[in-house]
């Protein structure tokens, strides 16, 4: 579905992504883990069209989108749920959700409202707070709105940037379960960017480790969890944590 090949992205003179290559198959959860400053958010921004690569290719469903405009990439079926949710504090939950369908609302209002009802069925808690301003929601509720807003775009590929950031452990578990259920219910392919290594690898099909702009290891997520050297060198999982895995 998505093939990223030899991708190089700069921020000014700073070489952030250095020859990135990976593939994501349709219907899978692909996790990319790494520390702050590894280039994870820049990678998502490059795929989404926010940043333009210096070289390399991004191919989505056999079409190159490396230098496409953001709105055109959204129309092709790629959606980005940004870090720290970034919902609109002053808008209601309903309006925040409907913003995800802005590119098709005028021409397909009936279908949009059908999707809206489906999203509410998926997030029944949001049904009780449709008129509540986004700024009055808890972090976990805001993340539900952010994911629901993404679903309103009818994505084939949803990219999530640190969905567990700032959330309590029990809420993180709920969010990861939501992603697994989303894959099952909607058939959505997911690219998950995370610092929470354990949470990400436990739900992913395949994964890779990004370190200072380069992919240093990739493979089945279960294999990465079981490899002691990888845990010590790249994933930063303590011995105590390894015993729990």
**Residue 115: per-residue pLDDT:** 92
Q: Where are the beta strands (DSSP E) in 34-188?
A: 55-60, 63-64, 78-81, 157-161
Please tell me the least confidently modeled range out of 6-15, 89-98, 102-111, 189-198.
102-111
DSSP H or E segment with residue 209: strand 206-211
With contact defined as beta carbons under 8 Å apart, do 40 and 20 qualify?
no
Residue identified by tokens 């909607």 is 186
| CATH, domain range 2-81+155-244 | 3.40.50.300
31-58 tens-digit pLDDT: 999 888 889 999 999 999 999 999 999 9
Query: Across residues 166-194, what is the average pLDDT?
Result: 92
Which of 86-90, 105-109, 126-130, 201-205 is predicted least confidently? 105-109
Alpha helices in the chain (DSSP H): 40-48, 70-76, 93-99, 109-122, 139-151, 169-186, 197-203, 221-226, 228-230, 239-244
Tokens linked to 192: 């998950």
Contact assessment for residue 162 and residue 114, using Cβ atoms and an 8 Å cutoff: no
The full set of domain ranges for the chain reads 2-81+155-244
Residues with Cβ < 8 Å from 238, sequence gap 6 or more?
Answer: none
Helix (H) or strand (E) holding 234: none
Q: Give the separation between CA 75 and CA 72, rounded to whole angstroms.
A: 5
Quick: pLDDT tens for 74-114. Answer: 989 999 999 888 899 999 999 999 999 987 766 788 889 99
Indicate if the pLDDT at residue 178 is higher than 60: yes
Residues present in the chain in total: 245
Instruction: Quote the pLDDT of residue 243.
Output: 52
- Has residue 13 got a pLDDT over 60? yes
């Amino acid at each position: 579905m998505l093939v990223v090949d030899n991708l190089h992205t700069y921020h000014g003179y700073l070489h952030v992504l250095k020859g990135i290559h990976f593939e994501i198959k349709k219907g899978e959860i692909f996790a990319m883990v790494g520390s702050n400053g590894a280039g994870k958010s820049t990678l998502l921004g490059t795929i989404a069209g926010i940043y333009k690569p210096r070289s390399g290719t991004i191919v989505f469903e056999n079409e190159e989108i490396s230098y496409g405009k953001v709105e055109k990439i959204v129309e092709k079926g790629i959606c980005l749920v940004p870090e720290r949710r970034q919902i609109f504090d002053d808008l209601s939950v309903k309006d925040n959700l409907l913003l995800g369908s802005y590119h098709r609302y005028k021409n397909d209002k009936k279908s949009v409202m059908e999707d809206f009802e489906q999203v509410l069925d998926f997030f029944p808690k949001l049904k009780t707070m449709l008129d509540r301003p986004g700024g009055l929601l808890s972090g976990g509720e805001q993340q539900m709105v952010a994911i629901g807003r993404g679903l309103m775009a009818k994505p084939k590929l949803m990219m999530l940037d640190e969905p567990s950031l700032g959330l309590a452990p029990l809420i993180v578990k709920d969010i990861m379960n939501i992603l697994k259920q989303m894959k099952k219910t909607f058939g959505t392919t997911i690219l998950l960017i995370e610092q929470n290594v354990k949470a990400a690898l436990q739900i992913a099909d395949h994964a890779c480790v990004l370190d200072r702009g380069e992919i240093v290891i990739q493979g089945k997520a279960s294999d990465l969890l079981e490899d002691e050297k990888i845990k010590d060198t790249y994933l930063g999982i303590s011995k105590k944590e390894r015993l729990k895995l």
